[in-house]
């Protein structure tokens, strides 16, 4: 990749797990009443045919990883587990009470925080409580994020018995200097143990998360991490750029100095080296930052053009409704977004008062919905088109005007009715999506809201 392109396109930009992106939500016209109306509409349209997704945010961690941008509560007091599960199940009840029929669950994902902070008994209580008020869709998929240092075989077996078949382990980097900087000391032996135990238990999709662009991280570190990863051959990999957003996450991302971070040029070399090594090992690039073996459901979803992207990242199938439970979780009705309060005490209070604990959101208008489809197409399929009337919008000629220079740089190909992102352009797909982002174009942020695209 030419340095000139890196310098040209390395700007702050969204990762497009939604459109509109969170900073551009219209909270002034949003209301809990409107949100519930869009949710009920979408539920009635899609529950019987495709089911819904559940994301559960389990925020507790025993120690702080300084690379992490998630909402978390650091504690070693495990008595916090039971009250939290009680609140989450009460929140689920509040949602179920909105619907005329039982929710048909297609996906459950446990994220955090550290889901394996919770005991096996409490995790069983949580999942059993969710399923008590629901049915299971055909081909349902349950997944969770496991910390290699504290995920036990009992965790793996308990969740497997509850229907989980996919697990993701955060690796980040195997180099000790990098691990110290991000406060994530995690020996290879721990990752090897949980990966092998997951296979023994019967998990069919095991994923590892690797990050490039971390403090003190070199090309050699990335090469060594991927070399070690190949010994375990997970079914899929998330290989993504460290999002340095200390202005949002405060001291949690200030465990090192800015000058300790690799330059944009080094980060791009790390990505290109990683992509090359993963390709040699048999991994295929899926969407942005994700790689999978051809035997994994994520690769099959690309072949069948079913790949979807939402606040959980890339998923192998689409659901129109995604309900987020727990503190700070985000829900998506397709026609609207809603985010839960971020404070644990406020969350407990609202749920105890039988109030769905959302504090902000956005109801999509007709233009939002069209642009959302285009950005989803680009992020999931690296292409989009407007050959039908429902995909055309008035500002499209202005959007295409902004893409002419990217086409000249070889990042995409355009014709009268479509765009195709080139292989050269895939690392810049966020930049391409930004051209479609009318709200971003209308009002560029005065302060930096997003991580750098490269």
Q: Is 67 annotated as a binding residue?
A: yes
Q: Is 29 annotated as a binding residue?
A: no
* Predicted model pTM: 0.90
CB atoms within 10 A of CB 132: 12
- Tell whether 145 is in a known binding site: yes
Query: Is residue 243 part of an annotated ligand binding site?
Result: yes
Each residue's pLDDT, cut to its tens digit, for the chain (454 residues) gives 566 777 787 777 888 989 999 999 999 999 999 999 999 999 999 999 999 999 999 998 767 666 566 677 778 788 999 999 999 999 999 999 999 999 999 999 999 888 999 999 999 999 999 999 999 999 999 999 999 999 999 999 999 999 999 999 999 999 999 999 888 888 999 999 999 999 999 999 999 999 999 999 999 999 999 999 999 999 999 998 887 555 344 444 445 778 889 987 888 889 889 999 999 999 998 888 899 999 999 999 988 888 899 888 888 888 999 999 999 999 999 999 999 999 999 999 999 999 999 999 999 999 999 999 999 999 999 999 999 989 999 999 999 999 999 999 999 999 999 999 999 998 889 999 999 999 998 877 654 556 565 6
pLDDT of residue 69: 62
Task: Please indicate if the annotation marks 209 as binding a ligand.
Answer: yes
| Structural domains of the chain in order of their starting residue, each with its CATH number | 20-363 (3.80.30.20), 366-442 (1.10.10.920)
> Is 188 known as a binding-site position?
no
**pLDDT at 441 (0 to 100):** 86
Query: Is 330 among the annotated ligand-binding positions?
Result: yes
**What does the pLDDT read at residue 255?**
57
Per the annotation, does 69 bind a ligand? yes
212 labelled ligand-binding: no
Cα 319 from Cα 428, distance rounded (Å): 27
pLDDT score at 242: 85
What pLDDT is recorded for position 253? 45
- Please indicate if the annotation marks 345 as binding a ligand: no
The reply to whether 268 sits in an annotated binding site is no
Q: Does the annotation place 353 within a ligand binding site?
A: no
pLDDT for res 134: 98
The predicted pLDDT at position 248 comes to 44
Contacts of 48 (CB under 8 A, 6+ apart): 101, 104
Q: Is 184 assigned a ligand-binding role in the annotation?
A: yes
């Amino acid at each position: 990749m030419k340095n000139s392109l890196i310098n040209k396109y390395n700007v702050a930009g969204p990762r497009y797990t939604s459109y509109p992106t969170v900073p551009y939500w219209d909270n002034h016209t949003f209301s809990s009443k409107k949100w519930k109306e869009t949710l009920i509409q979408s539920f009635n349209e899609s529950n019987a045919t495709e089911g819904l997704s559940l994301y559960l945010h389990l925020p507790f961690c025993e120690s702080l990883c300084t690379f992490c941008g998630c909402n978390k509560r650091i504690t070693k007091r495990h008595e916090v587990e039971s009250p939290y599960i009680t609140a989450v199940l009460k929140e689920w009840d509040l949602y179920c009470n909105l619907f005329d029929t039982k929710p048909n669950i297609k996906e459950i994902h446990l994220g955090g925080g550290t889901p394996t902070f919770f005991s096996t008994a409490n995790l069983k209580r949580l999942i059993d409580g969710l399923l008590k008020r629901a049915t299971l869709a055909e081909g349902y998929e349950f997944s969770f994020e496991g910390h290699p240092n504290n995920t036990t075989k009992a965790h793996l077996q308990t969740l497997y018995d509850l229907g989980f078949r996919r697990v993701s382990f955060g690796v980040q980097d195997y180099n000790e200097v990098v691990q110290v900087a991000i406060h994530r000391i995690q020996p290879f032996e721990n990752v090897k143990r949980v990966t092998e135990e997951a296979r023994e238990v019967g998990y069919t999709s095991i994923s590892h998360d690797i990050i490039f662009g971390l403090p003190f991280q070199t090309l050699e570190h990335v090469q060594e991490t991927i070399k070690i990863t190949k010994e375990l051959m997970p079914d899929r990999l998330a290989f993504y750029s460290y999002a340095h957003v200390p202005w949002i996450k405060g001291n949690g991302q200030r465990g090192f100095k800015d000058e300790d971070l690799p330059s944009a040029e080094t980060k791009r070399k790390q990505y290109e080296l990683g992509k090359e090594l993963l390709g040699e090992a048999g991994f295929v690039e899926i969407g942005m930052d994700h790689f999978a073996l051809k035997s994994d459901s994520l690769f099959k979803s690309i072949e069948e053009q079913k790949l979807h992207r939402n606040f959980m990242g890339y998923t192998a199938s689409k659901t129109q409704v995604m309900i987020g439970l727990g503190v700070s979780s985000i829900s998506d009705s397709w026609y609207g977004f809603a985010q839960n309060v971020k404070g644990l005490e406020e969350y407990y209070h609202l749920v105890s008062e039988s109030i769905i604990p959302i504090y902000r959101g956005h109801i999509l208008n007709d233009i939002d919905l069209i642009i959302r489809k285009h950005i989803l197409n680009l992020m999931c399929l690296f292409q989009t088109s407007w050959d039908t009337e429902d995909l055309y919008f008035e500002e499209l000629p202005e959007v295409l005007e902004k893409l002419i220079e990217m086409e000249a740089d070889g990042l995409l190909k355009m014709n009268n009715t479509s765009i195709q992102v080139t292989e050269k352009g895939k690392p810049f797909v966020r930049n391409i999506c930004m051209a479609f982002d009318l709200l971003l174009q209308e009002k560029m942020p005065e302060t930096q809201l997003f991580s750098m695209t490269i």
